Structure 1
Amino acid sequence: MRVLFASTRGSGHFHPLVPFIDACTARGDDVLVVAPPGLEPLLATRKQPYRIGGEPPHEELARVMTDVLALSPDAGVAAMTSEVFGRLGITAMLPALDEACRDWRPDLVVHEAYEFASVVAAERHGIPHARVAVAAARFTRSTDPLLTPVLEPYGTGIAQRLLTAPYLTRLPASLDPSPYAVTHRYHEALRPGVLPDRWGGAQEPLVHLTLGTEAGALPTAAGLYRAIVEAVSALPVRVLLTTGHLIDPTDLGPLPPRVHVEQWVPQVDILRSASLVVCHGGSGTVYGALAAGVPLVCVPLFADQPVNARLVAGAGAGTAVTPTGGPVDEPAVLGPDDVGGIRAAAELVLKEPSYRARAECLADEMRATATAAELLDTLEP
């Protein structure tokens, strides 16, 4: 089988595709990945063939993003979906994806949920397509009404056919019920490595602090990291902070002795030893923690993070602390009250065993789903 995979530039959008890409490769399928230029450094480290599409004009994208950041959270999500992922993303990526569908002739197109040009190309060439969730279904469903004006100019009924195509998600049904008629759930079969000892043999609980891959681009990033370190390091714990490649750890200044910081460590290795994750509530981090049975304290900043934080708290697998420290036009700032709230939440989740127990129940539910390789068999045309 020939399978074309399509993604937008964010690693958080690409990584949910990886289990399927690897499963196709392992069973001998022909694989082609098509993505924007921003994803090329990551694709170059992998063994699958890829093609690089276009990108929106820099000045226009910068103008749209400036407008997005000035909007309320809900209006910002709507603008990102319709303008950035929609109008600009389709225009930039459609030539490369149309060419791949016409010349390479895949049997199936698999795309992350906010990459839409591949859907247009697949529809033009009569190729079945499936979308892979990069967020909770509740969040994705909230943006679905925006798709009709984005997709209908390319063909009547495309938006509706997208919504009725197979929807593939890693989140468990009890946490994230799906409104989509054809929903398949899967899990990643990961093999964690051993986390090196960075604390001189200390045995206190390990807390992983992370704000994912995108927060490092915020002008307030260094302050955010320092605030969550301040919140957690006062507790009797070991701390591993990962900042992502957009932040130099030296920018954070001196750190408490039990805090170790690195740009990147395999998440699965950390979670094997972690007692708690304190994070922004990004979908990849939430999925990884729950799949490992590790409870969370979520401090949502933007996009789908508030929805994820509410899901985690509602499931009893952690708590949510909504930031209140910044002015309206700078929501990604943590003030003194937020630091105290994060510390109290972390202390509570570490002490109360029900949070860990509930996270482990969700992990059991997730492990009972199909692997990506098993799910592929149900998607074959």
Structure 2
Amino acid sequence: MRVLFASTGGSGHFNPLVPFIDACTARGDDVLVVAAPRLEATLAAREHPYRISGELKEDELRRARARVLELSRDDGAALMIREVFGRLGVAAMLPALEEACREWRPDLVLHEACEFASVVAAGRQGIPHARVAVSAARFTGSMDELLRPVLAPYGPGIVERLRTSTYLTRLPASLDPSPYAVTHRYHETPEPGVLPDWWGGAEDPLVYLTLGTEAGALATATGLYRAVLEAVSELPVRVLLTAGRGTDLSGLGPFPPNVHAEAWVPQADVLSRASLVVCHGGSGTAFGTLAAGVPLVCVPLFADQPTNARLVTEAGAGLAVASTDVPVGGAPVLDTEAISRIRSAVELVLKEPSYRARAENLGHETRATATCGELIDTLDPRT
């Protein structure tokens, strides 16, 4: 089978496709990835063929981002979806995807949930396509209607095709009910490695602090890292902080004695040993943590993070500490009271066993779903 994968920029959007790319490769399928220019270095480090789409129009992108930064969190997220992922993203990626669908003739197109040009290109060539979730279904579903005016110029019924296409999500049903009629759930199968003992044999609970690869690189992340470090520095815990390869760790220090900082550590290595994760509620971190059966404390910033934090709290698998609502580009307000609330949330989740128990239940539910390879077998249109 020939499978075309499509992704916008950013590792958080590409990573959900990776286990399916690996599963197709293991099956002996032919794989081609079409992605935004930001992913070129990532794709060049892998073995499968790829093509890079056009760039977003820089002047229009700059104007859109400037508008986003002036808006509230919810309004900024809506504008980002409509203008950047929708109008500008489709225009930039459609030529490369149309060429790939027309000339390479894939049997199936798999696209991450915020990439929409492939839906247009596959529809024009009569090729089946499936959507791989990045976020929770309630957030993904909220995007669809926002896209209607920007997808209308490409033909009628595109949003309806998007809604009726197969939807693949790694979130268990009890956590994230899906509005999509054809929904398949799956789990990944990471193999944890050995986590170094950076704490000299200490056996206190391990708290993992991360803001992921995207939010962690923002200038506004420094204040959040410092606030959380202040909140946990005097607690009887070990802390591992990862800030991303693009972050200067020296700007976050000096670190308390119980804190060790690294640019990056494989998530599976940490989650296999962590007692708690403190994060921004990004999808990759939050749902990877729950799949491993580990509870969370979320301090959401923007985009889908408030939705993810609500899912965590509603499920009883952790707590959320909300900062004051500010424009997307602004720094979250994390005063002494907020730091105290973070500390209290960490203490409560570590002390109260129900949070861990609920997270473990969600992990068991996740692992009972299909593997990516099993799903690919069912999606093969030739069978």
TM-score, normalising length: structure 1: 0.98
Deviation at 1:217, TM superposition (A): 3.8
Partner residue, 1:157: 157
Q: Is the 8 A contact 1:326 1:335 kept in 2?
A: no
Q: Is the 8 A contact 1:318 1:355 kept in 2?
A: yes
Residue identity matched to 1:19: P
Quick one: distance in 2 between partners of 1:335 and 1:377? 51
Conserved in 1, the CA contact under 8 Å of 2:56 and 2:89? yes
CA 1:131–1:327: 2 relative to 1, 3 Å = closer
Deviations 1:295-324 (A, max 9, x none): 000110001111111110111100010013
User: 5+ unaligned residues in a row in structure 1: which ranges?
Assistant: none
Q: Is the 8 A contact 2:7 2:14 kept in 1?
A: yes
Aligned 1:146-185 pairs, distance under 5 A: 146-185=146-185
CA displacement at 1:331 relative to structure 2: 4.9
Distance 1:347 1:326 in 2: 27
2:88 corresponds in structure 1 to: 88
1:32 aligns to what SS in structure 2?
strand
SS class of match (1:59): helix
Q: Which position in structure 2 is the counterpart of 1:272?
A: 272
Distance across 2 between alignment mates of 1:193 and 1:328 = 36
Distance change >3 Å, CA 174–CA 257, structure 1 → 2? same
- Looking at structure 1, the residues matched to 99 and 212 of structure 2 have their Cα atoms a distance apart, in angstroms, of 33
**Contact 2:220 2:331 (8 Å CA) reproduced:** no
Tell me if structure 1 keeps the 8 A contact 2:72–2:326: no
> 1:228 corresponds to which letter in structure 2?
V
In structure 2, the partner of 1:188 is: 188
Question: What SS does the aligned partner of 2:178 have?
Answer: coil
Q: Cα deviations across residues 145-186 of structure 1 (Å, max 9, x unaligned)?
A: 112212221111111011100000000100000010000000
Structure 2 CA distance for partners of 1:166 and 1:288, relative to 1, 3 Å: same
2:256 maps to what in 1? 256
- Paired position in structure 2 for 1:350: 350
Q: Does the CA-based 8 Å contact 1:166-1:182 persist in structure 2?
A: yes
Question: What SS is found at the alignment partner of 1:229?
Answer: helix
Q: Which residue of 1 aligns with 2:230?
A: 230
Query: What residue is the counterpart of 1:242 in the other structure?
Result: 242
Query: What is the one-letter code of the residue matched to 1:194?
Result: V
What is the RMSD computed on CA atoms of the aligned residues?
Answer: 1.3
Which residue matches 2:286?
286
Q: Which residue of 2 aligns with 1:339?
A: 339
Amino acid at match of 2:13: H
Kindly indicate whether the alpha-carbon contact (under 8 Å) linking 2:76 and 2:327 is maintained by their aligned counterparts in 1.
no
- The aligned length equals 381
| 1:253 shift after superposition | 2.4
> Structure 1 residues 156 and 22, CA, compared in 2 at 3 Å: closer, same or farther?
same
**Cα distance in structure 2, aligned partners of 1:328 and 1:274:** 30
Partner Cα distance (1:318, 1:216) in 2: 21
State the TM-score, normalizing by the size of structure 2: 0.97
Q: Distance in 1 between matches of 2:116 and 2:305?
A: 22
> CA offset at residue 329 of structure 1?
7.2
**How many angstroms apart in 2 are the aligned matches of 1:164 and 1:234?**
51
Q: Which residue in the other structure is 2:130 paired with?
A: 130
Structure-2 residue corresponding to 1:323: 323
- What are structure 2's unaligned runs of at least 5 residues? none
Q: Which has the higher contact order (CA 8 A, sep 6+)?
A: 2
Which residue identity is paired with 1:303? A
Residues 325 and 338 of structure 1 are in contact (CA less than 8 Å); yes or no, is this contact kept in structure 2?
A: no
The 1:23–1:329 alpha-carbon spacing in structure 2 relative to 1, beyond 3 Å, is: closer
1:98-137 to 2 correspondences below 5 Å: 98-137=98-137
Q: CA deviation at 1:332?
A: 2.7
Query: Residue type of the partner of 1:376?
Result: I
Query: Which residue identity is paired with 2:53?
Result: G
Partner residue, 2:43: 43
Three-state SS of the structure 2 residue aligned to 1:273 is: coil
**For residues 49-87 of structure 1, what are the alpha-carbon distances to aligned partners after superposition, in whole Å with 9 as ceiling and x for unaligned?**
111111112222111111011112221121111100011
**Does the CA-based 8 Å contact 1:172-1:366 persist in structure 2?**
yes
Determine the C-alpha separation between the residues in 2 that align with 1:148 and 1:139: 16
How much does 1:293 deviate? 0.6
Does the CA-based 8 Å contact 2:72-2:327 persist in structure 1?
Answer: no
Using the TM superposition, give the Cα deviation of residue 327 of structure 1 relative to its aligned residue in structure 2, in angstroms: 8.4
Describe the superposition over 1:63-118 as per-residue Cα deviations: whole angstroms up to 9, x where unpaired. Answer: 11110111122211211111000110011111111111111110000000110111
Alpha-carbon separation, structure 1, partners of 2:151 and 2:376: 27
Counterpart Cα distance in 1 of 2:177 and 2:202: 41
Percent of aligned pairs with the same amino acid: 72
AA aligned opposite 2:248: D
